[in-house]
Amino acid sequence: MTGCRMEKPMSQQNIGWIGTGVMGLPMCMHLLDADHAVSVHTRTPNKASPLIDKGARWCKTPSEVTSDSTIVFSMVGYPRDVEEVILGEVGVVSQARPGTIIVDMTTSTPTLAIEIHRRAQEKGLYTLDAPVSGGDVGAREAKLAIMVGGDRDVFEQVLPLFQLLGKTIAYMGGPGAGQHTKLANQISIASTMIGVVESLQYAYKAGLDLESVIDVIGTGAAGSWSLNNLGRRIIQGDFKPGFFIKHFLKDMEIALAEAARMELDLPGLSIAYQFYMAASSMGYEDLGTQALYKVFENMNNLNPPSKTSRRNS
């Protein structure tokens, strides 16, 4: 594949996209479907094939993505990846033209978001930290929640593109505020998933039909996205990743570190982290977060979830 060079009508945005994983690929596809010109880079070229087939141009390095782009998005795995693709030797900041907007949608550290903002400002660039929630389903259906930190006027410029990716888009404050909001989201989810797993296992032992249980309690005070979506995946024995356990562990580690920096004790998150560490040690780190069920399943010597949807006789 050659480097990206393109000429697009002025009515279209020239967009750069870095990272085409479980969520990054469908998110980028929405921009292509809206007839924007997209230059794409990812570590594994064949993962970008659906985008290239749709008309995206392949770029060999993150910096090359900037050659035709006025806005560059990144959606990668870990803070170290964010630092590499944005601040690295062949990262976005190294070659971006003044005025380019850099939008990192990875869940990363607030500290790194602030550092990226500072480094970008020195070169006349603009940045937003805009992590998302909603998993693979939200990414595919363009129903993500997007929480954004940075300068408000830059947020307003990018808002029409965010609206192609998500349903709930919120400006949360200055640089790093988006990341702090996402960490609050992950803290809530961590303990919620324990409740979902224990609830389903209790219902199973009581001889209830698990789908019926979710149908009822999912509409009341116990209702949550995790119960109504991931709970049903558990029942079906579907542990494919909408969000990897290994990435969730990363998020919890960031949250615990930020809490420690603020001298804040989060015992619920600490407990959830230990259970997810157990899931990782059992070889489940590349499964979805709903695979926490398997840890409790082993503890309680239960049958696989695909065999647990049964009615009380």
Quickly tell me which residue has 């040690």 as its tokens: 281
Please say whether the beta carbons of 188 and 165 come within 8 A.
Answer: no
Q: How far apart are the first and last CA of the chain?
A: 62
Catalytic-residue membership of 182: yes
Sign of the dihedral through C-alpha 195, 196, 201, 203: positive
Distance in angstroms (rounded) separating the CA atoms of residues 166 and 141: 8
Residue 220's Cβ-count burial label (10 Å; 0-12, 13-18, 19+) is exposed
Q: Which of 60, 143, 182, 307 is catalytic?
A: 182
Query: What residues are annotated to the active site?
Result: 182
